[in-house]
Amino acid sequence: MSSIAGPSIRGRIPVGRRSAFSRLRAAGVSLLRAVMLPRLRAAGVSFLRAAGISRLRVAGVFVERPGVVSVYMVGEDLGSLRFEPGQSFRWRFLTRRLWPVSLPFALSAPIWEDTVRITVSTRGGRTRMMRRLRPGTRVLARGPFGTLTGRSRTRRKVLLLAWGMGVAPMRALFETMPGGPGDVTLLYRARSAGDLVLTHELEAIARRRRRYLHYLLGPAGGPGDPLSPARLLELVPDIAEHDVYLCGSPETAAASVEALRLAGVPRDRIRAEPAAC
């Protein structure tokens, strides 16, 4: 190993020239900040947009009920997302523990100017940390994904069927799906009233837009199943004339499709996308 002995580079600059050197360095830093950094930032934003990634910040976290929160986020130029109610995004929250993973969630409401909202269960390993998200936390959103939108509609009447947290995208569709009085019905399936979320919003939408809303509560399976074919026909007698949008886990989606088919709904009118729910 060898070393070079001698004065530092600072010691080699004549005293009379140090102030000029300092001014030159300050001018270079100012130029970098004024010219290069905005260009680099703009290039980074353009790259993210080209990759379908949007930058947002957490505006706040609201507890809907124990175990469920809504996360509000703000961003610029959200209109360029080309989002349709019913679609989902992959969210990456840039915190120490959450940044390594992107989490799939659908928006639980239409985009409001510069604000978006997701509503999630915090009982999972990763999502539990979302309760502690702080305002200002940076977020990257990639998407949108999914075809569970009004674009695939073929009938005048629509039935929305939500299981558990699958109500999030269904709430957005319930508000925005075009239709006259009674054309849109939402069936919300849960084990008990304590498992329901966003009920005040759903009921307000039903009143304002003159839509039907039914809560189907109780355990699944057995003769008392609230989602039996007989119960479906009781609630929606002309169910066979509806397009059906379904959101739930793969297991609940399979059970729902079977009940809908037995109630007379053609398979090609049932739209299920468990991955988005």
| Residue 19 confidence (pLDDT) | 63
The pLDDT of residue 213 = 99
Please report how many Cα atoms fall inside a 13 Å half-sphere around the Cα of residue 37, on the Cβ side.
Answer: 7
Q: Give tens-digit pLDDT for 82-125.
A: 889 999 999 999 999 999 999 999 999 999 889 999 999 998 88
Look at residue 230 in the predicted model and tell me its pLDDT: 94
User: Tokens 């169910």 map to which residue?
Assistant: 239
pLDDT at position 221, please?
A: 73
Low-confidence ranges of the chain (pLDDT < 50): 1-13, 15, 18, 37, 40-51
Fold of 53-145: Elongation Factor Tu (Ef-tu); domain 3 (2.40.30)
Q: Which residues contact 170 (CB under 8 A, 6 or more apart)?
A: 86, 160, 161, 162, 186, 188, 245, 247
* Cα 66 to Cα 46: distance, rounded to the nearest angstrom: 40
Spatial distance between the Cα atoms of 55 and 45, rounded to a whole number of angstroms: 8
CA distance 131 to 33: 36
User: Domain 150-276 falls in which CATH fold?
Assistant: Rossmann fold (3.40.50)
Domain with CATH 3.40.50.80 in the chain: 150-276
Nearest to 215 by CA among 190, 247, 178, 185: 190
Cα(183)–Cα(179) distance, integer angstroms: 5
What is residue 83's predicted lDDT score, i.e. its pLDDT? 86
Q: What is the DSSP string of the chain?
A: -----S--HHHHS-HHHHHHHHHHHHHHHHHIIIIIHHHHHHHHHHHHHHTTEEEEEEEEEEEEETTEEEEEEEES-GGGG---TT-EEEEEE-STTTTT--EEEEBSS--BTTEEEEEEE--STTGGGGGGPPTT-EEEEEEEE---SGGG--SSEEEEEEEGGGHHHHHHHHHHS---TTSEEEEEEESSGGG--SHHHHHHHHHHHT-EEEEEES-SSSTT-TTSHHHHHHH-TTGGGEEEEEES-HHHHHHHHHHHHHTT--GGGEEE-GGG-
**Residue type at 185?**
T
Closest CA to 185 of 250, 238, 128, 261: 238
CA end-to-end span of the chain, whole Å? Answer: 62
For residues 54 and 90, the answer to whether their CB atoms sit within 8 Å is: no
Query: Could you give the residue range(s) of every CATH 2.40.30.10 domain in the chain?
Result: 53-145
